[in-house]
Amino acid sequence: MRKNCRRKIRPLSFRFFSLITVLLVLGGCATDDVRHYLRPNAEAAGIKKIAVLPLETLTQDQYAGEKVRRMLISEILSRRADVIEPGEITSFLVALQKPLYRLEMKDIRELGEKLGADAVLLGSVEAYKMTSGLTVSYPDVSINLRLVETSSGKIIWSAVSTSGGASFWTRHFGAEGLSLSETARKVVKEAVDTLPLSDKTD
């Protein structure tokens, strides 16, 4: 009788642990993606001071660009790189009397010379919202960034970082996921992780 019981229990145990394994794998079904480009032979050692320009906001949240910009500045500073004060950038742009989308390479070079920036970081926030699904709501954040060398006007690096969709646990069990701001910080961090900063690993 014991032998028969053991034979029945083992398949059940195997199925149980197999199910748990599948659930753990499915637990990360939310979409997280970072695609980046780094110019061949880019001199990371030369990028020590960055001017983070205001980001274009392509979402209904008119403050999304500034929110993400502050996160970018904080994340870059945490890597021991230097960042130009936002107030200095604002003063330069006001004096220039040009909207961001009309900036030319000569303007970027001038910004570098006047503010001492080795590169400018610019881009857009393409998604920054809570999206409603059938049973749950989840954060949807997407940013598009590029780093331009002020001396040459060349793009050193660019990245698109996105996070969206509810995880398996949130969809099926109602587990609490990341908030919108937490998701945005995660998206920013994953993008900056690919940024060529000279003191990044120090």
Over residues 90-118, mean pLDDT: 94
**Four-point Cα dihedral 100, 102, 106, 108, nearest 10:** 20
**Do the domain assignments include residue 68?**
yes
Q: How confident is the model at residue 21 (pLDDT cuts 50, 70, 90)?
A: very low
Query: Is the pTM here over 0.75, yes or no?
Result: yes
pLDDT at 14: 46
Range of the domain at 102: 30-192
% the chain with pLDDT above 70:
71
| Long-range CB contacts (within 8 A, 24+) of 178-183 | 178/139, 179/139, 180/128, 180/129, 180/130, 180/139, 180/141, 181/67, 182/139, 183/139, 183/141
* CATH label of the domain that carries residue 41: 3.40.50.10610
pLDDT at 45: 55
Lowest mean pLDDT among 87-96, 140-149, 172-181, 191-200: 172-181
Total domains in the fold of the chain? 1
Q: How confident is the model at residue 196 (pLDDT cuts 50, 70, 90)?
A: confident
Whether the Cβ atoms of residue 189 and residue 75 lie closer than 8 Å to each other: yes
**Do the domain assignments include residue 40?**
yes
**Do the domain assignments include residue 117?**
yes
**Do the domain assignments include residue 158?**
yes
pLDDT at 31: 66
* CA atoms of 184 and 128, how far apart (whole Å): 8
Q: pLDDT (tens digit, 9 = 90+) per residue, 27-78? A: 445 567 889 998 887 655 568 899 999 999 999 999 999 999 999 999 999 9
pLDDT at 123: 96
**Do the domain assignments include residue 9?**
no
pLDDT at 16: 45
**Do the domain assignments include residue 171?**
yes
At residue 18, does pLDDT exceed 70?
A: no
Query: Average pLDDT, whole number, for the chain?
Result: 81
Report residue 74 CA to chain centroid gap.
13
**Do the domain assignments include residue 3?**
no
At residue 176, does pLDDT exceed 80?
A: no
**Do the domain assignments include residue 180?**
yes
Q: How confident is the model at residue 80 (pLDDT cuts 50, 70, 90)?
A: confident
